[in-house]
Amino acid sequence: MKELSALYKQWKGTAPYSIEELPQAGSNRRYVRLSDEQGNSVIGVIGTSVKENECFIYLSNHFTRRGLPMPQILATSQDHTRYLQEDLGSTSLYAALSDARKNEYQYGALERDLLAKTIRLLPHIQVEGAIGLDYKRCIPPIKFDQQAAMFDLNYFKYSFLKTTDLPFDEIRLEKDMQQLAIDLTMCSKGRHFFLYRDFQARNVMLKEGKPHFIDYQGGMEGPLQYDVASFLWQASAHYPQALRDELIDIYIEELQSLLPDFKKEEFRKELQLFVMFRMMQVLGAYGLRGYVERKKYFLDSIPLAIQNMRETLNSHVANSYPYLNQILQELVSLPKFQLQPVEKNNIGGCHHEHSSTKQTDYGKASISKYDGRGPLVVRVFSFSYKKGIPEDTSGNGGGYVFDCRSTHNPGRYEQYKPLTGLDQPVIDFLEKDGEILTFLSSVYKLADAHVERYMKRGFTDLMFSFGCTGGRHRSVYSAQHLAQHLHQKYGIEVRLCHREQQISTTFKSKQSEHSASPKDVQD
């Protein structure tokens, strides 16, 4: 984190005003939002794979030069393990569609419009993005060929199929998979463009309502159908077939404006083959991420992916590969992959799946007398443990108390003793050391979750206190940064008190100006 802050300072000229670590998804990269005093932010990325970083940086620079909506690269470290990119916000397309998923996958006009805008841009990324692109700068394999297809098919076989204990003949299955790989590479008569490869709603960010795209570093030269299948058959999105057909028409219309000689009927026929192939690749990924790495999102998505495969097989697309078809049919029929019935309950109007374990009926929950009173006011204190923990005047019990004494203490050094955590030399010391940044990263996650819940419930008071030995350096720095973070992110009133310094500041609520609400958090 220290190196990332140093890169920001080198690029910006000043140290970041606030640092917020963002949740990780399926990758091993770490993402951090770094902001200045005015709230202008960039995304810092820490990636251990230099080749992957270099590929993403090259592709981003290429696409932005082509005028495509990808994040601009702002700065890179000399060893290419860290870089800064344009901040595209916190709302993914997937998050924006959450209400539709909760409503039994009923996609309304707003959701359909967002999906249409997104898929209209896809052919531009594929066709215009391919112009002048040096595929040798991509991560191998750089071209979708028979070998690349077999890699994904074997990914399915070893990471998912073998985990089911379903018996199969390896030689017969290999023969059919080899033929499938040949047929896939012959689609569109071998005419290839840029293959995004992981084109799905989680990799689409909505900035000012317009789609922007991330996570394309796995891209290569390849056929157009792959990305369409990836997007429209994303397991957790579960788009109705009528909506898929509508979006395919939009995609084809836009593609024809770029490729007038494009054969749409041929495309539609070959698309089904890529849907089956993509479903197999996805199940391989879910097997690895879910069964091996035990990531809940991927485990939860397996029954939905199986359902997509089941529907795809009903189109008879696998009939040309008899043994593969047989194994896939047996796979989707396994009892453990059957979707459980879904019913409405009375908890927040949400839908919940039944599990095999009987759920206890707790009855209707009581309503707290504090519910709905709002708006929320957060009080943040710094203090010295020698003088005791700050008193809670609200009568609610005092909230959170964080002990900063585990972090490196600037007060041990003569030059910092007369200063506080508000003075730049102390700030530079703490941030260069980095321990306080790691400490606050965990605090932010806890505080954000609590604030969001309190705002939804309509509670009025929440208190955070930071203590250190003298209440002068570490606690002051931490309290100041949490107060600024919460005010900037949620627009709520935050009352900050550095008790031992006798300094109090109130960050006024923005709700009266903007009708503020919690920012969308990615699923």
* pLDDT tens digits along 399-427: 899 999 999 999 999 999 999 999 999 99
pLDDT tens column, 139-197 = 877 899 999 999 999 999 999 999 988 999 999 999 999 999 999 998 877 788 999 98
pLDDT of 513 higher than 90: no
pLDDT of 369 higher than 80: no
Task: Look at residue 24 in the predicted model and tell me its pLDDT.
Answer: 65
Measured CA to CA, the distance from residue 464 to residue 380 in angstroms comes to 5
Task: Look at residue 419 in the predicted model and tell me its pLDDT.
Answer: 94
The letter for the amino acid at 160 is F
Measured CA to CA, the distance from residue 329 to residue 313 in angstroms comes to 8
Domain positions in the chain are 2-86, 93-338, 377-514
Measured CA to CA, the distance from residue 310 to residue 127 in angstroms comes to 32
Contact 247, 119 (CB under 8 A): yes
Q: Which of 193, 233, 199 is nearest to 216 (CA)?
A: 199
Contact 378, 486 (CB under 8 A): yes
Measured CA to CA, the distance from residue 460 to residue 458 in angstroms comes to 7
Cis-peptide into 141, omega within 30 deg: yes
The answer regarding whether domain 93-338 maps to CATH 3.90.1200.10 reads yes
Measured CA to CA, the distance from residue 321 to residue 173 in angstroms comes to 9
pLDDT of 461 higher than 60: yes
> What is the CATH superfamily name and number for domain 2-86?
Phosphorylase Kinase; domain 1 (3.30.200.20)
Mean pLDDT of the residues in the chain: 87
Chain centroid, CA 223 distance in Å: 26
Helix, strand or coil, per DSSP, at residue 432:
helix
Q: Hey, what are 203's tokens?
A: 């990799």
Our CA dihedral for 157, 288, 221, 83, rounded to 10 degrees, sits at -170
Task: Look at residue 517 in the predicted model and tell me its pLDDT.
Answer: 37
Structure letter (DSSP) for residue 104: T
By mean pLDDT, which of 48-62, 106-120, 292-306 is the weakest?
292-306
71: confidence class by pLDDT, cuts 50, 70, 90: very high
Contact 206, 92 (CB under 8 A): yes
Q: Please provide the distance, in angstroms rounded to a whole number, between the alpha carbons at the two ends of the chain.
A: 24
Measured CA to CA, the distance from residue 389 to residue 401 in angstroms comes to 8
511: confidence class by pLDDT, cuts 50, 70, 90: low
